[in-house]
Structure 1
């Protein structure tokens, strides 16, 4: 096998004594060296026969895959591999004679014997990472089994693994070594293989929830003595009891990372884990004859209908969307402005107080402006803009403020057949143009000659072929630091952890709904197939309105508590939105079927209610009323030579309104923004005279 690998190498690399002056100019970009140095030489011949060819082949293969070869680290690795083989002759012949961890321990021991101390951590990490990379490349080349039978699936090393054209986790490997027992591991690998090839699963799903869920089950059954067979138990009752035990086990697991670390798994997570297992067993039941033949395991033939449905309806818990205080997912205007006004710090040089990454700066700008998912922006094509078909006869400059000038095509990898374009303005086009220019200037020298970048935002390292998008881990880490540095707080004083970039998507959707954009338009803009998800943002909007409404005490014109439950009042007003009852300073509570005989005298009507949200309008109205009274009295005196008497009909009405406004404002300023502890609204100021008169009339009627 080594001979065939050696033969496929280009002549200039087919040597055990590689010198830089023998390589092409384009080849040299694959090697990490001191740019001020005269060149480099890598002497693979220090190693025993065959091992020297293996390491030379790995060096070429790293460069071919678009990686960068760390010359100094590789030299050190070759030197200490040779010293290790000298101490352990049984390891000579091939790098595959021992596992990477065994090589690392032996290399550290050889280093200590010759230097009197263990190597430093930095040295060990660099040499160890290069060793593991070479080992993985060789392992993939030597392993002639079908790709799905390999214990490690690495799409970067094996193009046979089915991937989508733009796979978010296409650079991630999936490891199966820890899956035990063996019958389960092989079955899971075959299940993943068939599901990937038929499109039932995507690589992101396999590398994420599916692999994790089945590992939980594997760890659980591996702890049984004896380990159960593929059919688990002999009878349906035994299988049911066995699966109920597993369900109890999953519900007792503790979250190991994230904000809920140390807490039990959420019902949503429990449902995901057990559903993945049930889906696997349903697949194996449906394909039991094929599985028994392909996997050479007759035990799969013993699966029956009771394996296809491991739990009864409702036992796994409901798979509901976590509508976790979605209002807290929306970034308010003040916090949003603070974030965007400081976004330049992401791109500023570190020595100047910034975080030194212009790509993350522009990624965040596009995420915030467009509401796209972070993966959709991170994986934009190099040329993501499409022309905008304009209406005939349209006028105005194409780059006018806020005008749409193009369509942005993004990678819709989450929802099949969902919209994948969105209208954008000239500012977004400028951000994209600047990113292209920056990439050509700063990353272009690292690319192989003649390479056309695949993505707009590109990874810095191991990307000579310019075919890897910007890594998500780096975005998360940088934005976490940025969020802590800004310490942005919302109106309630809560820290805005905008490093969870999905909050910008919530904010964009809610702002569109706030602006009155029709639901079906928001649905298409957000890339949703159905209005179900869009409605969640609409619910968030309604919830926000209701929360703001319930936040204040409600008062009438006499300054007393309104004897109506706040939520009932909110529902009533929402159900009865009529243009003839819209008031600038409060709400009209007159029933729909009754006619209003008050005209504009709302402030003297007991059907009037208001709260502190109208204070600015109420104070303005009070000032204007007093000003109107003064002007009218002055005009009356100038025309008649007499002062307007207090019993003047017009003056009495305006005075009553002014006094009502005073009582309303005093009451609201005393209660402030306080929320009722019992959930009831507070009645306000307005018609004390009428209320007292009604009470006196009622008492008069009750007298004998």
Structure 2
């Protein structure tokens, strides 16, 4: 196989490029013809079984420096160094020059198609056959993936936004906020096919990011919207007409809107519906682009080159905005389905140990009343992030990006108000609303989760000084990259397929929809009677209207609020409701929910699969009015355990083992009773839930954060 004449032209001999910047970046051990032996920790930074050294001796200095710099970037980035791929690329480049086809002036000047032809020709010359497609793809990922993006950004002498790929990981010149939730995302404005549109979009979005008008996350959405314009214009007979006379602008805008409304053009099935917002966003993006170009019209020729934009007038942006569809806001954005009920939370609690356990470990989980052994998912970080979201109501990005030192002592006034309960101030990674607060008070449960994560990080990254509480595990040898939100979402989607969690109505519950936990937390706080300004401060919102959007209007809470108010007869006399009246109406007059030692808060339409194991059930509550019954039950349980111990010893000649099936269940009931009674003695006026957790509202759930560390029976 022979390379084409086009490849011969691309690989024409060129003079050496100035590479002083790359050379200055390279430490002494990364310079030379052979890389590897002198580099600290080299063995741990290459893949098992890969080449031990990188051999660049036969290449000219310019290409040798570029390949060495790309390998150094991988090392500095915290990933594995691609020794095999770099050696293969070096061999192909050397062969091309020896075969008389020349060499590229720079790896950044060698297109992907040209490199593929070069590598295939080199492989045929050495092996007599074409290389496997997977091998070619691996080399392409190195040259035209992140290492190649990083090299192109380092050699770029213009503005960062002139690049075809924008990657904060590869280009430190991209301006980001200190807490940017989407810093792992890469945007590709180079995919725009029309040259003058591509250049104007780069200029527009780059300027918006530098000026603070947009953030890294919002320019991604805006770029996606302008991609629709590029796709539509590419199919038009005259794309330059977009800046034509006003009458033509009306027609084009209407045509574009009609094209956006067609599901077939949006990659959707026939008969589907395109939401008005999905139609309006591209039209708004076009109008904003035109407004930007009008404001900077004198600079358009220098920045964009030959383009139709010079014909724009002040009439064009309003004409396009006029074609946006009117969107009717719903009467209320509050949806009760955003509220995670206690039935669902109880299932999540039961499944959390599976998410954290190692993949080679089986965890016992109760599925439909049947104990099932499920292999672990080996993702304790996702488990703790999920716990913190449930316990604090923070956004996923606020937990993923929070600092390692995110706890500080609470004020003396807060400690006094907590009546002895452990509290601390939790500093989360607020990034959505600049004016909002970035800290809240948290209890001992949250502190325990954070402390456990810190200990885990110190064991996993013993030589690193992490700046974030949650760290990415791949390509992160230095422990500097936070846990990406996209990684967290993917882990929860995969876990949901295994857990098959449902709500109280039997509908599937997707754990990856983590914003529902924020709705739930704020709803529970609102139902406790927190003032609006306090709820707004906890939520991290800048106005109370947004906080109220998060509060679900539940019929159950409406009944509780009704009973909590004073009622009057027609003659003006007050009607008093006792605690028993309140409990009775709350339980919908279900006699089977009144237990000898408390109450069952299971929704009336559901059946109980716990048998008589109420003491370890998350929806069991009791109070001090049942103190005598509980004390008698504890004494009888302890006597029953001792009697069976004696019988087992007499029959078998050895003590009853601790993992005996019968003993495990009785011991759990005994421990729950001990905890319940101890809690009642400490706080006699407060009701208790499950195994002795004080309740602070109608039916709160206290998540057991130590269950995944206990040995399963």
Normalised by the length of structure 1, the TM-score is 0.71
Structure 2 SS opposite 1:394: helix
Deviation at 1:535, TM superposition (A): 1.5
Distance 2:521 2:506 in 1: 21
Distance 2:391 2:67 in 1: 48
Look up the match of 1:411: 429
Distance 2:18 2:188 in 1: 25
2:327 paired residue among 304, 318, 322:
318
Deviates more, 1:326-335 or 1:125-134: 125-134
Look up the match of 2:396: 374
2:283 paired residue among 246, 271, 274:
274
CA RMSD of superposed structures (Å): 3.7
Deviation at 1:31, TM superposition (A): 2.0
Deviates more, 1:387-396 or 1:461-470: 387-396
Runs (5+) with no aligned partner, structure 1: 550-572, 582-591, 601-609, 621-704
5 Å-filtered alignment, 1:203-602, equals 203-206=216-219, 208-228=220-240, 232-234=243-245, 236-253=246-263, 263-292=272-301, 294-296=303-305, 299-311=308-320, 315-318=324-327, 320=329, 326-352=335-361, 353-391=375-413, 394=416, 400=421, 403=422, 405-445=423-463, 447=464, 452-538=465-551, 540-542=552-554, 579-581=566-568, 594-595=570-571
Is the contact between residue 209 and residue 215 of structure 2 (CA under 8 Å) also seen in structure 1? yes
Structure 2 SS opposite 1:418: coil
Deviation at 1:51, TM superposition (A): 2.5
Structure 1 SS opposite 2:424: strand
Deviations 1:1-47 (A, max 9, x none): 45412344222111121132x2235xx37722449x9x932212244
Please state if 1:614 is matched with 2:631: no
Structure 2 SS opposite 1:309: helix
Is the contact between residue 233 and residue 239 of structure 2 (CA under 8 Å) also seen in structure 1? yes
Is the contact between residue 254 and residue 323 of structure 2 (CA under 8 Å) also seen in structure 1? no
Deviation at 1:99, TM superposition (A): 1.5
Is the contact between residue 418 and residue 527 of structure 1 (CA under 8 Å) also seen in structure 2? yes
Deviations 1:577-609 (A, max 9, x none): 96225xxxxxxxxxx8x4499999xxxxxxxxx
Runs (5+) with no aligned partner, structure 2: 1-16, 362-374, 577-583, 595-713
5 Å-filtered alignment, 1:111-122, equals 111=123, 114-115=126-127, 119-120=131-132
Task: Summarize the Cα distance change of 1:87–1:164 in structure 2 as closer, same or farther, 3 Å threshold.
Answer: same
Look up the match of 2:69: 57
Deviation at 1:494, TM superposition (A): 0.3
Please state if 1:163 is matched with 2:150: no
5 Å-filtered alignment, 1:42-121, equals 42-47=54-59, 50-80=62-92, 82=94, 89-91=101-103, 94-104=106-116, 106-108=118-120, 110-111=122-123, 114-115=126-127, 119-120=131-132
Look up the match of 2:661: none
Of the two, which has the highest radius of gyration?
1
Is the contact between residue 382 and residue 455 of structure 1 (CA under 8 Å) also seen in structure 2? yes
Is the contact between residue 48 and residue 92 of structure 1 (CA under 8 Å) also seen in structure 2? no
Look up the match of 1:15: 32
Is the contact between residue 280 and residue 324 of structure 2 (CA under 8 Å) also seen in structure 1? no
Distance 2:593 2:468 in 1: 57
Distance 1:219 1:80 in 2: 37
Deviation at 1:228, TM superposition (A): 1.6
Normalised by the length of structure 2, the TM-score is 0.70
Deviation at 1:397, TM superposition (A): 7.6
Distance 2:355 2:541 in 1: 31
Deviates more, 1:211-220 or 1:51-60: 51-60
Is the contact between residue 428 and residue 438 of structure 2 (CA under 8 Å) also seen in structure 1? yes
Look up the match of 2:45: 31
Deviations 1:241-262 (A, max 9, x none): 211211111122459689x998
Task: Summarize the Cα distance change of 1:262–1:60 in structure 2 as closer, same or farther, 3 Å threshold.
Answer: farther
Is the contact between residue 288 and residue 301 of structure 1 (CA under 8 Å) also seen in structure 2? yes
Deviation at 1:120, TM superposition (A): 4.7
Is the contact between residue 335 and residue 489 of structure 1 (CA under 8 Å) also seen in structure 2? yes
Is the contact between residue 48 and residue 93 of structure 1 (CA under 8 Å) also seen in structure 2? no
